[in-house]
Amino acid sequence: METGGLEWLLVPMQQLVSWGAAGAMVFGGVVPYIPQYRDIRRTQNAEGFSTYVCLVLLVANILRILFWFGRRFESPLLWQSIIMIITMLLMLKLCTEVRVSNELNIKRRSFAAADSKDEEIKAPPKRSYLDFDLNYFWHWSKFTDYVQCVLTFTCVTGYITYLWLDSSLFVETLGFLAVFTEAMLGVPQLYRNYQNRSTEGMSVKMVLMWTSGDTFKTVYFILNQAPFQFSICGLLQVFVDIAILLQVYLYSYYPQKPVSHTAHPASTKAL
């Protein structure tokens, strides 16, 4: 009777823990960006945040969703990707609005063909299909340009996946690319901090949440026997997070040559 009573209690507890872990996987990934989003909105300065982080996460999660069609992994990981894509688009929208409002007489840069209504263009507009100048890629002036780029990438990769979905080699490679790209999440921020010799403007809370979240996620992958690509790249992601935290320590206790922030010149690089 005692054993039966314990089982009656343990089964619901195990179910609750399972639901809690699944919920943490779905929504835990977006939590680190809440303090960064609030900081940018409060200060109206996106200088310290690299929007290439958004690019990395958008690519990684689009590829992960496509990987799901070839190899059905747990649904919480699929929902996590959907929620993360929405979150990154919101971050991009805010950062673009802030950057444009802080820069006067900025020349219109777009992903698609130039708009004939651009105020800065005095000469007859020259129509070009795409603006793939590496100096301005992902530095566009309107949020809609980022949406167009994401949709184009999704359609192209989706079509390729549809054609090769029966190839196990392609599917496994797609899965590896998805999680490896996500593992590189912190690299743009790591490089940006190195360039500035400072972590000013970057939310340390965000990086701490990255580290704890990535650690939890990696343990979750291992315990739930997720595809091996997830576990390997999860460990790599934790190492990158730790490297950024080391930058926070080094640049706080051993300040480097200060970087001029007059008129927020670095905001163009970040966005």
CB atoms within 10 A of CB 88: 24
Out of 19-23, 226-230, 233-237, 259-263, which region has the weakest mean confidence (pLDDT)? 259-263
Asked if 82 and 68 count as a contact pair (C-beta separation under 8 A), the reply is no
CA 215 to chain CA centroid, nearest Å = 17
More confident residue, 226 or 182: 182
Highest mean pLDDT among 21-25, 31-35, 135-139, 160-164: 160-164
pLDDT score, position 154: 96
18 confidence band (pLDDT: 50, 70, 90): low
Percent of all residues in the chain with a pLDDT value above 90, rounded to a whole number:
24
Q: What are phi and psi of 265, to 5 degrees?
A: -65, -25
270 confidence band (pLDDT: 50, 70, 90): very low
Q: Which amino acid is at 154?
A: T
Residue-wise pLDDT for 166-208, tens only, equals 999 999 899 889 888 888 878 878 888 888 888 887 778 878 8
Residue 131 scores a pLDDT above 70: no
More confident residue, 118 or 252: 252
Residue 12 scores a pLDDT above 90: no
Annotated domain spans of the chain: 14-103+138-253
Q: Which ranges of the chain would DSSP assign to H, the alpha helix?
A: 2-27, 33-43, 52-70, 75-102, 143-164, 168-183, 187-196, 204-223, 228-253, 267-270
Can you tell me the distance from the alpha carbon of 91 to that of 37, in angstroms, rounded to the nearest whole number? 7
Asked if 66 and 158 count as a contact pair (C-beta separation under 8 A), the reply is yes
pLDDT score, position 112: 62
pLDDT score, position 31: 83
Percent of all residues in the chain with a pLDDT value above 70, rounded to a whole number:
75
CB atoms within 10 A of CB 19: 11
Out of 80-84, 97-101, 121-125, which region has the weakest mean confidence (pLDDT)? 121-125
For residues 41-66, give the mean pLDDT.
88
SS3 51: coil
Out of 23-27, 66-70, 153-157, 244-248, which region has the weakest mean confidence (pLDDT)? 23-27
Residue 15 CB burial class (10 angstroms; 0-12, 13-18, ≥19) = exposed
Per-residue tokens: 213: 């979240």
